[in-house]
Amino acid sequence: MCRFIVFIPDTGLMEITQKQAQKSLGTTIRKKREALELSQENFASLCGMHRTYMGAIERGERNVSLLNIRRIASVLELKLSELFAAAKM
């Protein structure tokens, strides 16, 4: 099993599993998308991805490539660091 050690400001180091990381990132992406009032289908299209793939990302079922995370962050108008910070990664 893959585990990650992440540093969270004001909290310190925390160990999370790959599945926890995927779920946290997916939940954060969904919240940010909804805050922009974008449907999952429109958001996926703007990111250059299929709606079902985006749904799997938001549910934490996919191990997303850095390139795709960068595309998502761009559409959300966030820096990668801001997206990761919001997901507590």
Domain residue spans of the chain: 3-86
- Find, among 24, 18, 25, 77, the residue nearest to 46 by Cα: 77
3-state SS class at 17? strand
Q: Examine the pLDDT at 80 and tell me if it is beyond 60.
A: yes
Q: Would you state the pLDDT for residue 89?
A: 75
What pTM was estimated for this model as a whole?
Answer: 0.83
3-state SS class at 75? helix
Q: Examine the pLDDT at 12 and tell me if it is beyond 90.
A: no
Taking residues 63-80, report their average pLDDT. 97
CATH 1.10.260.40 fits 3-86, yes or no: yes
Both tokens of residue 30? 């969904």
> Between these two residues, 51 and 4, which has the higher pLDDT value?
51
Q: Would you state the pLDDT for residue 85?
A: 93
